[in-house]
Structure 1
């Protein structure tokens, strides 16, 4: 039995999408997800997305990182699924309910309300998440925020000068973060623009991270580094518009693209 898939991306953050709403697909395991995500021996992606029926929303979206771990949220993938659905839709995720709406600039996603309590990140022990008194080899005093998944945000003079490939995995696996953590390094360009690089847990450095852009914008607004409202967050893959409204909800707007469609034989993967 060959299984159809759709390859999509949001600003270079790429996904293999399996649609199980009206057809059978193999039972997804961490091992199979990692095998399909492998760029040398599989289809290749940052995240594998499994769409399932939902009794609470238009669709249930499950998200598996490239290492096979299942995670709560992915902003870029949500835009991609919003594009695939082609209409305003409610999407159920482990991180909560999300709403998508097609717009001229791509897809707008209501990402819900950010959480700042230490045990909502989660952290291993109580800390003030506005600017935590911790550091790793020059990266210091990060903010922490959960936007469906956990993030720490470091503000630095120049993102390009940060050794993210060394520090990212060190911070991701630090015992301070019992669920691991996504690591963001950001530079404030102006009162309405931020430059950002992201080390994504279970993936590595990625060209774009929607939840990272949301977390970084909110962390910068909390500190007064940018104006509350809408900011442009520029990632290596391109820009996203992030708004944090007076109702405490975050809206992310940006493009998504379908790359190609294909099929695979599950028997090719010993999973």
Structure 2
């Protein structure tokens, strides 16, 4: 029997799949097909998801490895919201509270944090590596080596943009008021064949709400509009700290609100931009378990499976209503 977990960080929805429980592990092609099958809401598997988080044995000294399969079957280098939920899964599996998880870009430090509210467990996860270099995103625009607070009229005429890889690529713009239609159009354009971001990019628009307080909305590569993007909120927090020093206090956490709720980030600026330190702190909510036979799982036959609710979603929604709004 195979058990999947339906989870979320700030309502960024995922399935966690622990490959180590299988007698025969999936190939990369099979993982891609699994992501497409599970995430499509039309398949009526717990309303789909934004991605599948695959747990493997680590190939180094980390506790385990995490891979991120997007809803379209592509693979992301990292996922901050997803990493929190995998951190909780591994914490409970191995009875550890402070450890490292291997990702494509780096081994990342994670640790259990104080609960956000009764029944709302939280984890803090490290976000790195950081790069502003065009070759690392990658992007191409007027031979720029990096893009920091630059006007790009080809995107939108009255906005400035900053590009940061953490290591997922992000394009960030600060606005007095987010125009969701323009965000969607730009995100769709830059994640279709285009001359600027050949591999696509996550696009985030942000509003500064006050001292160390942001609202961030993201059009996510491989997903589209999402309730929250962990690496997007992290990259936006770094851009905020750099570009808006009068609104930033390095000694305090940044509250980052999003359509799915709220997280905290902590940014410490270094001697160089790339030496900054970012931690993402937020919920790691398990909403359901899904049990299926390994034979049916390998065939992607989800006609017969057992689902049990954990009851945690009601507690998360109570937190959102009481502490966020």
Q: Would you call these one fold, judging by a TM-score over 0.5?
A: yes
Match of 1:221 in 2: 241
Q: Report the alpha carbon displacement of residue 184 of structure 1 after superposing the two structures with TM.
A: 0.1
Q: Report the alpha carbon displacement of residue 234 of structure 1 after superposing the two structures with TM.
A: 0.7
Q: After TM superposition, list the pairs within 5 Å mapping 1:236-247 onto structure 2.
A: 236-247=259-270
Match of 2:104 in 1: 94
TM-score by length of structure 2 reads: 0.77
CA deviations on 1:12-70 (whole Å, 9 max, x unpaired) are 10111110124334334223321121111163110111110013111110101101101
Q: Does 1:132 align with 2:150?
A: yes
Whether the aligned pair in 2 keeps the contact of 1:82 and 1:88 (CA below 8 Å) is no
Does 1 or 2 have the higher relative contact order (CA < 8 Å, sep 6+)? 1
Q: After TM superposition, list the pairs within 5 Å mapping 1:161-172 onto structure 2.
A: 162-172=181-191
Distance between the aligned counterparts of 1:175 and 1:97, measured in 2? 32
The list of structure 1 runs, each at least 4 consecutive aligned residues, that deviate by more than 3 angstroms after superposition, is: 160-163
**Which shows bigger deviation, 251-260 or 129-138?**
129-138
Match of 2:165 in 1: 146
* Unaligned residue ranges in structure 1 (runs of 5+): none
Match of 1:71 among 58, 69, 76: 76
Distance between the aligned counterparts of 1:190 and 1:76, measured in 2? 24
Q: Does 1:31 align with 2:33?
A: yes
Q: Report the alpha carbon displacement of residue 244 of structure 1 after superposing the two structures with TM.
A: 1.3
Distance between the aligned counterparts of 1:235 and 1:100, measured in 2? 22
**Which shows bigger deviation, 134-143 or 200-209?**
134-143
**Which shows bigger deviation, 50-59 or 217-226?**
217-226
Match of 2:197 among 152, 156, 177: 177
**Which shows bigger deviation, 138-147 or 149-158?**
138-147
CA deviations on 1:59-106 (whole Å, 9 max, x unpaired) are 110101101101101000000011112221211111222111001041
Match of 1:53 in 2: 57
Distance between the aligned counterparts of 2:9 and 2:44, measured in 1? 20
Distance between the aligned counterparts of 2:201 and 2:269, measured in 1? 27
Q: Report the alpha carbon displacement of residue 239 of structure 1 after superposing the two structures with TM.
A: 1.3
Match of 2:217 in 1: 197
CA deviations on 1:153-207 (whole Å, 9 max, x unpaired) are 0111112555333232112333211221000001111131111110000101111
Match of 2:289 in 1: 261
Q: Secondary structure of the equivalent of 1:168? A: helix
Match of 2:130 in 1: 114
Whether the aligned pair in 2 keeps the contact of 1:171 and 1:181 (CA below 8 Å) is yes
Distance between the aligned counterparts of 2:231 and 2:158, measured in 1? 20
Q: Residues 51 and 139 (structure 1 numbering): CA distance in 2 closer, same or farther, change over 3 Å?
A: farther
Match of 1:155 in 2: 174
Whether the aligned pair in 1 keeps the contact of 2:112 and 2:124 (CA below 8 Å) is yes
TM-score by length of structure 1 reads: 0.92
Whether the aligned pair in 2 keeps the contact of 1:172 and 1:183 (CA below 8 Å) is no
